[in-house]
Amino acid sequence: MQSRTPAPRTAGRPRSAAADTAILAATRDALVELGWSKLTLGDVATRAGVAKTTLYRRWAGKNELVVDAVAELFDELQLPDRGTLADDIEGVVLQFAAILARPEARNGLMAVVAESCRDDALRERIRSSIVDRQKRLVLEGRERAQARGELPPEADPEEAARTVDLIFDMVAGAVVHRTLVSAEPADEAWVHGFTRVLLTGLAGTPPG
């Protein structure tokens, strides 16, 4: 009996950036209109004009989809050179607060953080897709301040990495608590005061 040679496997359809953009935008629209609890992949697929199977090929479920939809918002954050470290910090913190004020960001972020309490893989996805990606802002701001002579250089790479983590935690933690937990505005006055404490410490001297 003649054996049959298996047919070569063909490559799958390439992932469409346009479809991804439409899906993530549709997810944010659904978060605004329906909230996290009522959002379904079927509704997102209909809004985006794609097949439901398209979503399942890209995301394991609703939580992962919402993380990526929210992460795309935080990718909008920029750190323009405003002349001083204090002004740079105030500018990016105001941007961050403005994003958190948007219902799609607020609803999505609070939901997936709550879900991640019992899902280690989801927690890691939040860390890699949102937290780690936005540490670029700390690195950029620190390098710029060092070039201006506002901050000393750090010779130890491990210590430098720990400093980046600490700065990010202080900034992100304070703004998230202010806006999402306390439900208070992170307006210019609050951001100015926060930046002063961040740069000088509780018993420090204000930057002159």
Q: Write out the residue range of the structural domain in which residue 148 sits.
A: 62-200
For 179-194, how does the pLDDT look when each residue is reduced to its tens digit (9 = 90+)? Answer: 999 999 999 999 999 9
Predicted confidence (pLDDT) at residue 11 exceeds the cutoff of 50: no
- Sign of the Cα torsion 194, 199, 202, 203 reads negative
Give the whole-angstrom CA distance, residue 190 versus residue 94: 10
pLDDT of residue 101 exceeding 60: yes
Task: Tell me, yes or no, whether 43 lies in a domain.
Answer: no
User: Confidence band (pLDDT; 50, 70, 90) for 14?
Assistant: low
How many domains would you assign to the chain?
A: 1
Tokens encoding 132 = 């780690």
Q: In this structure, are residues 125 and 109 in contact, taking their beta carbons and an 8 Å threshold?
A: no
Predicted confidence at residue 16, as pLDDT, reads 79
Q: Is the pLDDT of residue 1 over 70?
A: no
CATH of the domain at 180: 1.10.357.10
Cα separation, 73 vs 187, in Å, equals 20
The pTM for the full model equals 0.86
Q: How many of the other CB atoms lie within 10 Å of CB of 61?
A: 11
pLDDT tens-digit profile of 45-58?
A: 999 999 999 999 99
Is residue 114 one of the residues assigned to a domain? yes
